[in-house]
Chains A and B, each alone.
Chain A
Amino acid sequence: MKEGWKGPLEKIDDYRWRIPKSYQPGMRVPGMVYADEKLLKDIEKEQSLNQVANVAVLPGIVKHSLAMPDIHWGYGFCIGGVAATDIEAGGVISPGGVGFDINCGVRLMRTDLELAEVQARLTELVNGLFANVPCGVGVGGKIKTAGKDEENLLIKGARWAVERGCGWKEDLEVTEECGALKGADPSKLSERALERGRNQAGTLGSGNHFVEIQVIDEIYDERICSQLNLARGLITVMIHSGSRGLGYQVCDDYAKSMVRSLSKYNISVPDRQLACVPVNSPEGKSYIGAMACAANYAWANRQCLMHLTRKVFERIFNKGPKKLGMDLIYDVAHNIAKFERHKINGKEKLLCVHRKGATRAFPAGHRDIPPAYKEIGQPVIIPGDMGRNSYLLVGTEKAMEETFGTVCHGAGRVMSRTAAVRSIKSWVLEKELKDKGIVVRAKGRATLAEEAPQAYKNINDVVNVVHKAGIGKKVCRMRPLGVIKG
């Protein structure tokens, strides 16, 4: 099943590569891949470029089928894939272009704490997080919801959590969409989806989801850092999680129903996981209402997880989170479809932008940026792997021109989970990380090996492409100190 790429790839410059429209019948636009020669060596070993070409057949797709430098083999869309469709021209929406974990995303919180203070209590902190943040396969949370309460959560998103005392209203101001997509319609969710949402609010999940304590170790833009109250040696916390079972069920339900609707709209796709319907169709509108619910669930979830994290810091440092300066910098979605206005051939159009394993990156001055960040651009949070770095960037005008205001979402895998488990021993890895000063705790036996740094591309290479191609601008870099995983 694993065959390398044999198709054409035209070099545009050192960071941009095109898959011509002629590569495959039915491609409506070319593919465009952001990568350098080093990253391409791994990318070409698998099928992700085929997936970029497959996405180019979607009805209404405009400009390019895009892939970010963290591109890797997914299902339907590649991970790191971006596709925008023109709604007025019959453009489609595809649950496969959003992914199962709807609004899987990441948030970054700053603190006033400095490296030495946290290093002295690091093991205690990581153990505290591990004990208080529900994580791991099959683990539910203490926050139970049902009936009207669950409906409220699905409509209000992160605000639901804040109204329950899990956070501050300022958190909402710096969350993408203020933590709630409009148009959420709980009546579009199956009973199964609702059932799966009832006991998972405030749970981390498993796999690549984490809470990570980090230190800022490199500054690239002093001006932006000082506006964000960030400085070298300060401690940050990153939280990566999504919409849990509720979101998976929404994608599952709608992917199935859209496969059955393909013939109704006379759409043919090379992979059933790309099943889609016109945005303006009844089926499309139902999915949009359901997807917004799942996105809001994810924002509520990350808000709850941040609250639990703040409480652990409060207990260990015996100081409230406000006094510790634990302000949210930003929260971004990685798996989502959004309705945005972009210029296509000089004309502004309303597009449905699918980002699957990709981050919105709007430039300074854009109307959808929080007032506090209007001058600097939207913060973009790019987690790496647990042994290397993570980055904070801001969006640029060039991203608006070229990528619908989008950059990568992480490092991207290079090794399958089975291959990682085969070749890496969890206990050896744990010791290696410990020797580097990184404390890790994981619930799953295989999680550590699956998530080992070797299983990922080097985040420094990936972010470098984004920065050098001009679609994102580096602000600062963080180094991990302590990580909990499910």
Chain B
Amino acid sequence: MIEDRSTYPNGHDQLKAHILTGTNNSKPKSRGYELIDHTADIGIKAYGKNLKKLFVNAACGMFGILADLKNVRKEKEVEIKLEAPDVEELFLLWLGELLYQLNGKGIILKEFLIEELTGKRLVARVTGEKLNLKRHCLKTEIKAVTYHGLKVRKIKDAWQAEVIFDV
């Protein structure tokens, strides 16, 4: 089963507009995520009508902070399988794994397909291409995904998450 393609394949443009206009709080749900102002670092608040959507939107938010995704081609696919004791840890592992694809493997990602997701297990296929600094513009280095203030919770009929990155 493959579903939940990112609704924001070009996360960067939304993020850029978001930063430049300072509209952090306007219609965050339509964007899927918003930035959290943190003095030293940067964070995101992500939303999703279900858990898969939440994980995808958070991934888009993080890659939107990292890079300009306009020129990224869908040439390389990576399968990701993760297990964790709870959903918050799984969320942290997910973003950490995607970050490692860029920082460790040099793969810049733009599309995130989650095939299976329970509170403790995730299987996904993510797509992008090998980083090429002649064509790709990296904006900010995220050093890591932190536990500080990490929250993943269901509020009424939707999911919400907060996470702070070390930049």
A444 near B139 with CB under 8 A, answer yes
A422 near B22 with CB under 8 A, answer yes
Q: Using A75-B166, A196-B103, A419-B37 as known contacts, say yes or no to A445 and B148 having CB atoms under 8 A apart.
A: no
Which residues on A sit within 8 Å (CB–CB) of B139?
137, 444-446
Q: Closest CB-CB distance, B148 to chain A, in whole Å?
A: 3
A75 near B41 with CB under 8 A, answer yes
Q: Which residue of B lies closest to A272 (CB)?
A: B147
Q: In the complex, what distance in Å separates the CA atom of A255 from the CA atom of B145?
A: 11
A251 near B144 with CB under 8 A, answer yes
> Digit string of A445-486 for contact with B (CB within 8 Å is 1, else 0)?
110001000000000000000000000000000000000001
B140 near A446 with CB under 8 A, answer yes
Let me know if A112 is at the binding interface, CB within 8 A.
Answer: no
B164 near A137 with CB under 8 A, answer no
A255 near B140 with CB under 8 A, answer no
A79 near B103 with CB under 8 A, answer no
Q: In residues 393-438 of chain A, which contact B (Cβ within 8 Å)? A: 413-419, 421-422
Which residues on B sit within 8 Å (CB–CB) of A245?
103-104
Which residues on B sit within 8 Å (CB–CB) of A421?
19-20
A136 near B138 with CB under 8 A, answer yes
A196 near B146 with CB under 8 A, answer no
- In the A-B complex, list the 10 residue pairs whose CB atoms are closest, starting with the nearest: A75-B148, A272-B147, A137-B138, A416-B37, A75-B146, A273-B148, A73-B39, A273-B147, A248-B143, A137-B141
B147 near A75 with CB under 8 A, answer yes
B43 near A271 with CB under 8 A, answer no
B35 near A418 with CB under 8 A, answer yes
> Digit string of B130-154 for contact with A (CB within 8 Å is 1, else 0)?
0101001111110111111110000
Let me know if B123 is at the binding interface, CB within 8 A.
Answer: no
In-complex Cβ contact of B137 among A2, A416, A445 (8 A): A445
Known contacts A206-B141, A273-B146, A444-B140; 9 additional CB pairs below 8 A are: A100-B166, A137-B138, A138-B138, A138-B141, A245-B103, A251-B144, A255-B146, A260-B85, A418-B24
Q: In the complex, what distance in Å separates the CA atom of A136 from the CA atom of B137?
A: 11
Question: Interface on A for B, CB 8 Å cutoff?
Answer: 1-2, 46, 48, 72-76, 79, 96, 99-101, 136-139, 192, 195-196, 205-207, 245, 248-249, 251-252, 255, 259-260, 271-273, 275, 413-419, 421-422, 444-446, 450, 486
Q: Using A100-B144, A137-B138, A207-B141 as known contacts, say yes or no to A417 and B167 having CB atoms under 8 A apart.
A: yes
Q: Closest CB-CB distance, A207 to chain B, in whole Å?
A: 6
Which residues on A sit within 8 Å (CB–CB) of B38?
1-2, 73, 416
Which residues on A sit within 8 Å (CB–CB) of B89?
259
Q: Closest CB-CB distance, A107 to chain B, in whole Å?
A: 21
In-complex Cβ contact of A196 among B35, B39, B104 (8 A): B104
In-complex Cβ contact of A418 among B37, B104, B143 (8 A): B37
B104 near A72 with CB under 8 A, answer no
Which residues on B sit within 8 Å (CB–CB) of A139?
133
Interchain Cβ contacts within 8 Å, total number: 120
Q: What are 25 pairs between A and B in contact, CB < 8 Å?
A: A2-B37, A2-B38, A73-B38, A73-B40, A74-B41, A75-B40, A75-B41, A75-B166, A76-B148, A79-B40, A138-B131, A192-B104, A195-B104, A207-B140, A245-B104, A259-B147, A272-B150, A413-B39, A414-B39, A416-B42, A417-B42, A418-B19, A418-B35, A421-B20, A445-B137
How many residues of chain B are within 8 Å of chain A by beta carbon?
A: 42
Which residues on A sit within 8 Å (CB–CB) of B166?
75, 99-101, 248
Q: In the complex, what distance in Å separates the CA atom of A416 from the CA atom of B148?
A: 16
> Digit string of B5-45 for contact with A (CB within 8 Å is 1, else 0)?
00000000000000110101000000000011111111100
Interface centre among A1, A138, A192, A248 (most CB of B within 10 A): A138
Which residues on A sit within 8 Å (CB–CB) of B149?
1, 75, 271
Which residues on A sit within 8 Å (CB–CB) of B43?
1
Interface centre among B24, B66, B85, B103 (most CB of A within 10 A): B103
B40 near A72 with CB under 8 A, answer yes
Which residues on B sit within 8 Å (CB–CB) of A415?
39
Q: In the complex, what distance in Å separates the CA atom of A139 from the CA atom of B22?
A: 30
Which residues on A sit within 8 Å (CB–CB) of B111?
none
Which residues on A sit within 8 Å (CB–CB) of B39?
46, 48, 72-73, 413-416
Q: In the complex, what distance in Å separates the CA atom of A249 from the CA atom of B166?
A: 12
Q: Which residue of A lies closest to B23 (CB)?
A: A422
Q: Closest CB-CB distance, A465 to chain B, in whole Å?
A: 18
In-complex Cβ contact of A138 among B40, B42, B133, B147 (8 A): B133
Q: In the complex, what distance in Å separates the CA atom of A450 from the CA atom of B19?
A: 12
Q: Which residue of A lies closest to B20 (CB)?
A: A422
Q: Which residue of B lies closest to A192 (CB)?
A: B104
Q: Using A76-B147, A248-B143, A444-B139 as known contacts, say yes or no to A418 and B103 having CB atoms under 8 A apart.
A: no
Q: Which residue of B lies closest to A447 (CB)?
A: B140
Which residues on B sit within 8 Å (CB–CB) of A486?
141
Q: In the complex, what distance in Å separates the CA atom of A290 from the CA atom of B25?
A: 41
Q: In the complex, what distance in Å separates the CA atom of A418 from the CA atom of B45?
A: 14
Q: In the complex, what distance in Å separates the CA atom of A138 from the CA atom of B136?
A: 10
Which residues on A sit within 8 Å (CB–CB) of B35?
418
Which residues on A sit within 8 Å (CB–CB) of B164?
75
Interface centre among B20, B37, B43, B147 (most CB of A within 10 A): B147
B144 near A248 with CB under 8 A, answer yes
Q: Closest CB-CB distance, B24 to chain A, in whole Å?
A: 8
